[in-house]
Amino acid sequence: MIQKKILLLALVVMMLSLTGFGCAKKAAGPGDGTDASWEEQERQRLEQERLLREKMGQASNELAQMIHFGFDSSELSAEARQILTRKSQIMNEYSGINLVIEGNCDQRGTAEYNLALGERRAQAAATYLSNLGIPAARISTVSYGKERPLNPANNEAAWAENRRDEFRATY
Amino acid sequence: MSKKSLFTAFLFLSFLIAQLGGATGAFAQGALTVNIHGPGQSKMNIVLARPFAAQAQADAAVKLQDLISKNLAFMPFLNIVPQSNVLGQVAGPAAEQIDFKPFLMSKIDVMVTANWTPGGNLGNVELRAFEVYSRQLLVGKGYDSVTEAQLPEVADRFCMELMLKLTGQGGFFNSQLAFVKSSGPKNSEIWTVRPMGRGLTKITEYGDLGMAVSPDWSFDGRRICFTLIGSRSHYLGVWSGGGKPKVYTLPCTSVVSPKFLPSGQIAASLNLQGGKTDIYLLDSNMKPGRALVKSSSIDVSPSFDKSGNLMAYVSDQTGSPNIYLLNMSTGASQRITKFGYNTNPSISPDGAFIAFTRQFGGAQKVMLYEMATGQERQITSGGGTDENPSFSPDGYFIAFSSTRGGEKKIYITTIHGAAPVMVPTGNGPARMPSWGALPQ
């Protein structure tokens, strides 16, 4: 129990020490000079993000609001632009936090093309936020393609729901 | 399908007994021109005669018969007919001991016999396959001192010879599949299996930490590369035949569709320049080298023939994804598909065909493009969606994933679009097959 508390404290200290700095767009990983395995690094990253979300409270939920896209498109709708504008305000308010944008696709397309399309959707949001003055170093993107559907059904409503960007506050 | 069209060449045959693991019995063979066309055409009927074996070898004989039967059930163009359905007499394993006429009348095309004799371990076995119409021996193989553990290999080798005779290609029984299985919504792992369903093995263990997708076998069958989707980025995974896969961090967040070249190098689609993905060659340290395809659009899913000179890929430079072909020597690209949403190219090892998927409404179907004629045709049909076609190393079969049975599973068809046969992959959905040779 004590060890767990010490570990959590260390993670919080590490997280706080990172705030206020522009985070590199590329996450750390094997080959970056650390001895930890990829799995261990990933575990640490996720735990740090969980603690950050707890700390941010409601702002974290607002930051997480998704945006949606048309079929085979990465064009931002008026609604999406409005949601992104609000995110830029939150990010200006919380100058120490960064943002991971996760691009997702519907089930109709095929997996590999959708991984690329998901990246394009994530980049569309990232570019918009950059244009609003959020430094590129505070934004990173990852595509899940069609690997993480919110709705696994095979109909127009489900496809529309799955064509989305998700947003995650990070350190 | 007439029997005359099935077997057109006379075969001069002699039977040799050889050691398992060494040279097996071989026959001088003429070339057969068997080709089973079209999903709607009738199958070739085959009978596995009751094996001839002494009491002490009865169990082994039944086991081998069962293994051969299970193997042949994966050939989409074969129909295994129980011997009891035919009244003909099979008094012994050789042609002169078989009354072929009733089998001919019952439209049986091929008969297989097994003859066990006492020897080391379980004993010696001779396996023969006859063409019923001509009564000619197609394949004859002998295996000495067979052990229990060798029975699957004996079955594979015999079936490989038989398929070589019937289709000109025998690589099915000498190959392996890599594929993706998920045990939760945020989890996918890479597995391997023989196409007959044996040797099911999980090779990654990321759990909810990452999703391993898009496996691809190296041409020598010794390595698998794949995309590992982490919480902040994609990574390149490389498994080298055992142990934990190596994970490589690349200087970009998207690592899509990594594929082996025949040289052992890997090509992958990377977003080195913002939101667009281009196809790059990686060096031996898995660092991006020269771009193979670079445009202002999405370029993904490279697929190489065994010469390494042809690369099929997907680009959406015209607005929707289409299949293109790059000549690696000249650098010239040619558009292959002219309309629709086309993805997932798999070029045949000899470069003669490209299998790919085309979207029809909410579903994908597998298409086949023939290089020589420029013609394309649909080779899968029916319910559900069919994705990720992957050529077998011998270029005759195509594996793909499909929801035709409800849950996504892996199926096998042929370049002629034979009725698909499901590959046993255990519980849960299975997808993204990649077909590779067994290491030699």
Q: d(Cα B112, Cα B93) in Å, to the nearest integer?
A: 9
Question: Containing H/E element for B236?
Answer: strand B234-239
Q: d(Cα A58, Cα A80) in Å, to the nearest integer?
A: 20
Q: d(Cα B36, Cα A141) in Å, to the nearest integer?
A: 49
* Contact present, B225 and B215 (Cβ < 8 Å): yes
Residue of B nearest to A72 (CA): B320
CATH 3.40.50.10070, chain B: domain bounds:
3-168
User: Which amino acid would we find at residue B379?
Assistant: I
Per-residue model confidence (pLDDT) at position B43 = 82
What are the tens digits of pLDDT across the range A44-54? Answer: 989 998 998 88
- Binned at pLDDT 50, 70 and 90, residue A30 comes out as very low
Residue of A nearest to B360 (CA): A108
Domains annotated for chain A, with CATH where assigned, are 1-171 (3.30.1330.60)
CB nearest A72 (choices: B269, B274, B320): B320
Q: Integer distance in angstroms from the first to the last C-alpha of chain A?
A: 25
Q: d(Cα B104, Cα B83) in Å, to the nearest integer?
A: 13
Q: Which residue has the higher pLDDT, B166 or B216?
A: B216
Catalogue the E-assigned strands of A17-117: 67-68, 98-104
A30 touches chain B (CB under 8 A): yes
Above 80 in pLDDT, residue B205?
Answer: yes
- Binned at pLDDT 50, 70 and 90, residue A36 comes out as low
Cβ–Cβ gap B256/A112 under 8 Å = yes
Per-residue model confidence (pLDDT) at position B13 = 28
What are the tens digits of pLDDT across the range B246-289? Answer: 999 999 999 999 999 999 999 999 999 876 899 999 999 999 99
How far is Cα of residue B118 from the mean position of the Cα atoms in its chain? Answer: 36
What string of DSSP letters covers B316-337?
-TTSS-EEEEEETTT--EEE--
Residue of A nearest to B363 (CA): A108
A117 touches chain B (CB under 8 A): yes
Counting residues of chain A whose pLDDT is more than 70, the rounded percentage is 79
Q: Which of B168, B174, B219 is nearest to B35 (CA)?
A: B168
B214–chain A nearest CA distance, Å: 7
Q: Please tell me the number of Cα atoms within 13 Å of B199 on its side-chain side.
A: 15
Above 70 in pLDDT, residue B411?
Answer: yes
* Contact list, B387 vs chain A (CB under 8 Å): 110-111
Per-residue model confidence (pLDDT) at position B271 = 94
Tokens standing for residue B291: 């771009």
- In this structure, are strands A139-145 and A98-104 parallel, antiparallel, or unpaired? parallel
DSSP single-letter state for residue A55 = H
CATH 2.120.10.30, chain B: domain bounds:
175-437
Q: d(Cα B366, Cα B377) in Å, to the nearest integer?
A: 9
Tokens standing for residue B100: 């072929």
Lowest-confidence range among B43-47, B300-304, B310-314, B323-327? B43-47
* B175-437 CATH, one of 2.60.40.2240, 3.40.50.300, 2.120.10.30, 2.102.10.10: 2.120.10.30
B423–chain A nearest CA distance, Å: 20
CB nearest B359 (choices: A108, A123, A142): A108
Residue indicated by tokens 């002699």: B14
Tokens standing for residue B421: 């046969």
What string of DSSP letters covers B40-104?
TSPPEEEEEPPPB--GGGHHHHHHHHHHHHHHHTT-TTEEEEPGGG----B-SSSGGGB-HHHHH
Any long-range contacts for B54-61 (C-beta under 8 Å, 24+ apart)?
Answer: B54/B116, B54/B118, B54/B123, B56/B118, B56/B123, B57/B116, B57/B118, B57/B122, B57/B123, B60/B116, B60/B122, B60/B123, B60/B125, B60/B146, B60/B148, B60/B151, B61/B114, B61/B116, B61/B125
* Contact list, B380 vs chain A (CB under 8 Å): none
Tokens standing for residue A104: 């997702």
* Contact list, B253 vs chain A (CB under 8 Å): 25-26, 119, 140-143
Q: d(Cα A103, Cα B426) in Å, to the nearest integer?
A: 31
Q: d(Cα B330, Cα B351) in Å, to the nearest integer?
A: 16
CB nearest A38 (choices: B211, B235, B432): B235
Q: Which of B84, B85, B5, B73 is nearest to B41 (CA)?
A: B5
Q: Which of B311, B307, B306, B364 is nearest to B340 (CA)?
A: B364
A144 touches chain B (CB under 8 A): yes
Average pLDDT over residues B22-47: 49
- Binned at pLDDT 50, 70 and 90, residue A3 comes out as low
A47 touches chain B (CB under 8 A): no
What are the tens digits of pLDDT across the range A46-77? Answer: 999 899 888 888 888 889 999 999 998 999 99
Name every residue whose Cβ is closer than 8 Å to that of residue B42 and which is 6 or more positions away in sequence: B1
Above 70 in pLDDT, residue B354?
Answer: yes
* Contact present, B193 and B199 (Cβ < 8 Å): yes
Considering the domain delimited by B3-168, tell me its CATH architecture: 3-Layer(aba) Sandwich (3.40)
Average pLDDT over residues B184-211: 93
Q: d(Cα B130, Cα B100) in Å, to the nearest integer?
A: 10
Query: Is the CA virtual torsion B365, B363, A108, B227 positive or negative?
Result: negative
* Contact list, A145 vs chain B (CB under 8 Å): 213
Above 50 in pLDDT, residue B91?
Answer: yes
Reported ipTM: 0.82
CB nearest A46 (choices: B188, B231, B276): B231
A148 touches chain B (CB under 8 A): yes
Per-residue model confidence (pLDDT) at position B74 = 87
A18 touches chain B (CB under 8 A): no
Per-residue model confidence (pLDDT) at position A20 = 31
A166 touches chain B (CB under 8 A): no
Q: Integer distance in angstroms from the first to the last C-alpha of chain B?
A: 36
- Binned at pLDDT 50, 70 and 90, residue A27 comes out as very low
